[in-house]
Amino acid sequence: MSQRLTLPFKTLLVTAGYKHPDYYAYHKFNHYGVDCYDPNTHDVLALGDGEVVAAGQDGSTTTGKLSRLGLVTVIIYRDVLCNNGKVCDLVTRTYHHAKVQVKAGDKVKRG
């Protein structure tokens, strides 16, 4: 049976948009993602039922330029019903977490 995915936040606040010119002006490189968070809880929720592929620190340090993307989670969601009507597996990568409460191999449930 297929599943539909939901947003990973109950309340959403965007802090940096995709290739936003203000981001480039400040950092001197393009931003190829959308940074957002829940200002009420700071929780990032599972989009559906899936399995954690990887979780943890991306760079060699926890702060500064060598921290790269910070704390990261990679989750695969199987049998996702896409907007084109097809069912496929979908992998999400989320970055810049304050903490990670899952590890590779963990099963996650929506919300």
Neighbouring C-alpha atoms within 13 Å toward the C-beta of 90 = 18
Query: What would the pLDDT profile of 32-62 be if each residue is shown by its tens digit?
Result: 888 888 999 888 999 999 999 999 988 776 6
Across 5-9, 24-28, 73-77, least confident range: 24-28
Coil, strand or helix at 48: coil
Query: What would the pLDDT profile of 84-102 be if each residue is shown by its tens digit?
Result: 999 999 999 998 888 999 9
What is the pLDDT of the chain when averaged over all its residues?
90
pTM, rounded to two decimals: 0.83
Task: Please name the amino acid found at residue 20.
Answer: H
